[in-house]
Structure 1
Amino acid sequence: MSQVRYSKDHEYISVEGDVGTIGISEHAQAQLGDVVFVELPAVGDKLAKGAQAAVVESVKAASEVFSPVSGEVVAINSDLESEPSLINEDALGKGWILKLKLSDPAEVTALMDEAAYQDFLKSIA
């Protein structure tokens, strides 16, 4: 299994080869509450690190999802169109949002590992 890395905006990326699976963290989905709609990017979209990649809407608020790295969208989780609640049920599994072919794999190393992310969450609590 690949290592999961996190951004300060609460996105995660799990990289296998040169493709990263991106979604929102457990913390982010818990803060949002029940997810009711997900606006997905298009396959083929090119995203810069920090650019808006998707929008997740919950009963509480709409939240932008930013790409933690640069690359090209190679897949989207179309299951979220009919079952956005997958993000609440399994944010780091079935609730993934998109897959990105990395344009600069070194960007991943700048993100937080699980321990650093947990420390970050404590610092903002």
Structure 2
Amino acid sequence: MRFYEFESRRLVERAGIPVTSYGFCKTAAEARDAAEKIGGPTVIKSQVLTGGRMKAGGVKFADTPEEAAQHAEAILELEIGGHMPVGVLVDPKAEVEQEYYAAVLWDGRAKRPMMLFSDMGG
């Protein structure tokens, strides 16, 4: 089973783990509203079940709600790795020194969950 980032965020949130404010949006207008609600700079991320979103132009930074809407409009029409987005995730932009990626997978051979953690790529 594969999850979009917004679905994973909801699961983590339901488990009681704190997450930043975010908005899952299907239109540019919804992205503008989400960015307004978040306040400050945001990140607009394509919701596709493939990697390489940043390199493909599916992740953009916005300083204003209007800019978030413009990016969302373009990203919603952007095919990445043969996939069209089901929406965009609007997240607050964080100032970070190093970014890490984590994934929980099912190892069918070992018949147990496996966690991947990397400082390179999502």
More helix by proportion, 1 or 2? 2
Settle same-fold status: TM greater than 0.5. Answer: no
Identify, as 1 or 2, the structure richer in strand: 1
Instruction: Provide the TM-score with structure 1 as the length reference.
Output: 0.27
Compare relative contact order (CA 8 Å, sep 6+) and give the higher one, 1 or 2. 1
Larger Rg: 2
